[in-house]
Structure formats: C-alpha cells, structure tokens
Homo-oligomer: A and B are copies of this chain.
C-alpha cells in the first residue's frame, strides 16, 4: 500500500521556506501482530517544531534529515492486527507526517470524541492546553486580584492561559498581533485588556504601565524579544515569569541583544522558569480532567484554525511564524 510522507530535506537558516520539506511516495510494510494502520484526520503544527529543525540539543531531540517530520496526530484506525484497537477507533499519537502509517497499537491512545471534537485532543486537551494549565497553575500560582500578562495571547496556549487566569480571579492582559485577535480575546475570551503589539510599536511600555497599574505579577511568555523586554521592566515584587515559548526568536540563528532585566529580577525577587510540559506527565490525567470540567461548565472555550489538505502541512507550519493562526493551527487531512 502506498502513502505520501513529508521529510525534512534541509535544515532552515532563519525563516523556514517550503523547500526544507520534501514529499515522498513510499510503500508501506504489511501489518505485523500488534500493529495497526492509521490514517490521520488532524495533524498538529506547533512552534516548538522549529527548534527541532535545528541540529542543536534541546528538550526534544533534533529532527533527522531525510526522515519524516514527527508530530501529534489524531487519526482513525483503518486496519488492525491488534486486540487493543479495532478499525474505526479514533486514536492520538506522535506520528510521522504521512497520509497513512503503520504503528504499534501500544504507541497510540484511544480517545473519546463524543464529549469534545476529536481535534481538541491536539489543542485544549492536548499539549497546548496542558502547557497552559500546568505552566500557569504550578509555576505562576495565580492569586485572585493579581495581574497576569500573556504574550502570544491568541495562540493555542495563550488563549487557554488567559481563560484559566480569569477563572482564578486575575486581571488578564494579553498581547496579540492583529485587531481581529484583540477583539476576539476581549469579546469572547474575557481578557480585560489586549494590546495589538504590531500597531502600538514604541508605545508598548506605556501601554503595559496603563493596563497593569499594579504591575505584572505573572508573565506567561510565548514570544520573547522586545515584547518580553517591555514586560520584564514592569514586573511586580515576587513576579513569576513562565518561559513557555520564544517564537519571535526561533527563526533568528544568531543571538540577539535585548534589555538587561536581571537587576529587575533581583530587586523584585522574581522567578523565571523555562517550562517543559512533559515534566508534568504524571499529572496529565488530573490536568485533562480539570480542563474537561471547565469546558463542560462553559468556563473554557477554544478556537482552531483548520487548514485543509495534507499537502498544506508546510504552509500551515510556516503560517505559525506569520501569526496566521487564531488558537490552534491544525491541518485536516481529508
């Protein structure tokens, strides 16, 4: 049986272009005992994947050249030689970017798509949602009345962080890159204030001062660079800063320079923590249960940007760095 896969053809320098990906036709092996054939329904594209395209050690190992890109996928079982999974089951796993693949059933998890859309397992009930939940709750430890600032506030993680912070009784100020996103977060996601960092330009520092009159108690950073510089200069005593992403710097191979904020960290007795959600793996069931409860109670909402067609995967991925997504960016395969 034939399938199409997408391999990393070259390591990007700076902003990746479509030619770092190569589509290949492959012949799939026959199923062995314990294996299933999986056909993706939704394939997740995530900013952290940019880091894996570099040949540099990080918390996840680099993608190998000429090997399929791997990522989170929701798919359905279309053939099975396993007792664990049967044809028609909806599963999630870390799979190659391929139109079909043969997987060991034990590497897949069956999901219940009756409560929430199956795609939510790649978003609000997947890595982004759990990242938001554990990053904010365990490192941020929000208290009612505190001010929480979120960069990348309309992204898959940021959108959830802001809503959880509101549930905790915090003042929530977001930063996003378009008026459409600003309005969405204010009108539908309960953000107290949202700053369009693109149009505000050099007024960002004053805007943060205005919108955070009691300074910034928690900064949930998905973006880095100039935005973080301005927020770090406005942190409160005992501020907690969660470094969850640095998307503004992922495509900059050289190390750039920014404001030296360590004196603020010292005088404000602040905490900065680089965040890796997999440190919380043992608590994922608890996190998913809490997120599911909030969704059922109508306290937590989600948005997805769904691009259609397997061949659009590179375009969807590249769109993350141009801010094309509102909420979770996904590719729907059929």
Residues of A in contact with B (beta carbons under 8 Å apart): 51, 56-59, 221, 224-225, 228, 233, 237, 243-246, 249-250, 255-260, 262-263, 265-276, 279
Contacts and interface: CB of A to CB of B under 8 A. Distances in A.
A276 B269 contact: yes
A273 B263 CA distance: 11
A262 B243 contact: yes
Nearest to A264: B274
Given A257-B257, A269-B274, 17 more contacts: A59-B267, A225-B260, A228-B262, A243-B265, A245-B266, A246-B262, A246-B263, A246-B266, A250-B263, A256-B259, A256-B260, A257-B258, A266-B275, A267-B274, A268-B274, A270-B274, A271-B272
Contacts of A255: 233, 259-260
A271 B269 CA distance: 13
Nearest to A246: B263
Nearest to A260: B258
A244 to B, nearest CB: 8
A237 B271 contact: no
A267 B276 CA distance: 8
Contacts of A224: 260, 262-263
A51 B233 contact: no
Contacts of A59: 237, 267-269
Contacts of A274: 265-271
A269 B273 CA distance: 7
A277 B249 CA distance: 34
A155 to B, nearest CB: 15
Contacts of A265: 243, 272-274
A233 B255 CA distance: 10
A244 B57 CA distance: 29
Nearest to A278: B269
Given A59-B269, A279-B269, A259 B257 contact: yes
B58 A267 contact: yes
A265 B270 CA distance: 15
A213 to B, nearest CB: 15
